[in-house]
Copies of this chain bind each other. A is one copy, B any other.
Amino acid sequence: MSAPSNTAKQRLENIKHHLNPNVNPHFESLRIQRRQDQVPYISKLDPLSFLLRSAMVYAHKTAIIHRQKSFTYLQLAERVKILANILIDAYQVKPGDRVGILCQNIPAFTEAQYAIPAIGAISVPMNTRLAAKEIEYIADHSGVSVMFVQTELMDRLTDQTKTTANIRFIEVADSDDTSQDPYEASLKKRSNDCRLGWNDFPTAVDENEVISINYTSGSTGKPKGWGFPWAIVAVGGTQIMLNKLDYTLIWKLLKEHGVTHYNGAPTVQNEICNHEDAVRLEHSVNAYSGGSALSSTLIQRMKDLNLKPTQVYGLTETYGPAVLTYDHYTLSQYNEEEQAKLLARPGFNIVTSDEIRVLNIETSVDVKPNGKEVGEICFTGNLVMKGYYRNPKETTKAFRNGVYWTGDLAVRHPDGSIEIVDRSKDVIVSGGENISSIEVESVIVQLDQVSECAIVAGPDDKWGERPIAFVVIKKNRTLDESTVINHCRNSLAGFKCPTKVVFAKEIPKTSTGKT
């Protein structure tokens, strides 16, 4: 055979393609070059790749809408790149450094969640509803060197946090007038002066490196659902940010913006359903809810409005939701009453998680799936955290026998679904926020007048649960309710403070379960 060698090079010269460029190239700057020693068939799993890809594929699609502002994916990536430059050049952030974020659900939050890991640093998002003392603890314990703080949350900084020489603050005004916002001003100033491109950032090489530390309800409060800023960007969705619960605005957005998905605790779902603007939507909207169970009445009301309820379960330790209720196909096989029963179960692990297990607390053996035997919910797999930061003791305890122990108690049904029956971490769930009863108790017993104290969950129509304090006063001392509540307000976030104080002669040692 002597067929002509039809090489690419030769044919290349024969090819005459004339395709007219219609936009300016932008994607080349969005590339992070591979290292020379990388095998071609393995790439690190990294949320940053979602942003860089979406900035190419969905370049001119809206990524973020926040009141009057909106950014395309290309603009979002550019803002993140500028912010990363600022963190390195103006704040000397180095790989491994911790950077705090004390912002509501505003663009700066999402941008920081990309810019910080982009330069190999570790983000420390903080719950905006925490008290100043709690913020001080987190900043100190995580050792943040830089911290984003929204102007209206400046009062959450104690004098000690503010004056410590170790922390530098980046103020975010979140003002509609960007010229009045130091954060926007610094982005603007640096916009034509980025020393480093994507390829120059010291991004972590190992996909198992820590990129975020999230303080949990165990000692502090519920963090933001921080996986979502990454997931929405991965699918090229448009994120409408809401930093306040404005139900009139929510209904306006649901009706006019074609919203397809939203998250809200049962309290929030309830407010949405009972709002005066509530009408049945023309399009179906996926409504995710967690924290506590949706009542069957609320589920029915949501369905009437064309809101499709899905209950989720997860913990900060599992990167947020890792369990979903029954899929809509399976539910459709049951009648309304049975559906409500099934929807009360958190259900099954999502596809990126290992099977959720319910293990006997003493033997670490799976409970019988009879819907009766109670055990502790345990997780393994790629959604589980690496450990508690600077707390090897708690980490070892939580990872007993090769699984992560959640502290929540559940039964397993014969179909494998789990149903929570109690939370072993003494958590009160109020308006979607977790309150540690032990934490509140430890504050109240600081009062010299108090002998004993127990916090239990009281039912509340609006918030689901509210903490109630049972207090035993020392002999020959006096104390009133407002003193206890005001004392709590000085140390705790408002939502953690008891709304009612019951003075008792004694606290029965075995009967203070949350029921």
A residues apposed to B, CB below 8 Å = 1-4, 6-12, 14-15, 17-28, 31, 34, 36, 38, 40-43, 45, 49-50, 52-53, 56-61, 208, 234-236, 327, 329-330, 333, 347-349, 351, 354-355, 361-362, 366, 369-372, 374, 376, 379-382, 384-386, 399, 402-404, 407, 409, 411, 413-416, 419, 421-422, 424, 426, 437-438, 441-442, 445, 452-455, 507-510, 512-513, 515
Contacts and interface: CB of A to CB of B under 8 A. Distances in A.
A361 B12 contact: yes
B349 A402 contact: no
24 contacts: A1-B442, A1-B445, A3-B438, A3-B455, A4-B454, A7-B424, A8-B422, A9-B361, A11-B424, A15-B422, A21-B371, A25-B370, A27-B369, A27-B416, A31-B355, A40-B380, A40-B399, A40-B403, A42-B382, A43-B380, A43-B382, A45-B382, A53-B349, A236-B329
B512 A10 contact: no
A510 B10 contact: yes
A79 to B, nearest CB: 19
Contact of A41 (B12, B20, B50, B386): B386
Contact of A19 (B9, B14, B384, B413): B413
Contacts of A208: 42
A234 B351 contact: yes
Contact of A4 (B15, B49, B508): B508
Contacts of A6: 426, 437, 512-513
Given A11-B422, A23-B414, A381 B3 contact: no
A415 B59 contact: yes
Contacts of A58: 327, 329-330
A491 to B, nearest CB: 14
A6 B415 CA distance: 30
B399 A27 contact: no
The secondary-structure label for the interface of chain A is loop
A476 to B, nearest CB: 19
Contact of A414 (B25, B235, B402, B513): B25
Contacts of A11: 409, 422, 424, 513
Nearest to A509: B4
A74 to B, nearest CB: 10
A334 to B, nearest CB: 10
Copies of this chain, complex-wide, total 2
A507 B6 CA distance: 12
A39 to B, nearest CB: 8
Nearest to A357: B31
Contacts of A45: 382
A166 B234 CA distance: 48
Given A18-B372, A53-B351, 18 more contacts: A3-B455, A3-B507, A4-B508, A4-B512, A8-B376, A8-B409, A11-B513, A14-B513, A17-B372, A21-B369, A23-B414, A25-B415, A28-B416, A41-B380, A49-B354, A57-B330, A57-B347, A58-B327
Given A56-B355, A512-B4, A17 B411 contact: yes
Given A15-B374, A208-B42, A8 B454 contact: no
Contact of A1 (B4, B9, B370, B452): B452
A399 B36 CA distance: 12
B512 A453 contact: no
Nearest to A345: B19
Contacts of A404: 40-41
Given A17-B374, A19-B411, A355 B421 contact: no
A1 B453 contact: yes
A34 B380 contact: yes
Nearest to A351: B234
A426 to B, nearest CB: 5
Contacts of A361: 8-9, 12
B43 A351 contact: no
A15 B57 contact: no
Contacts of A381: 40-43
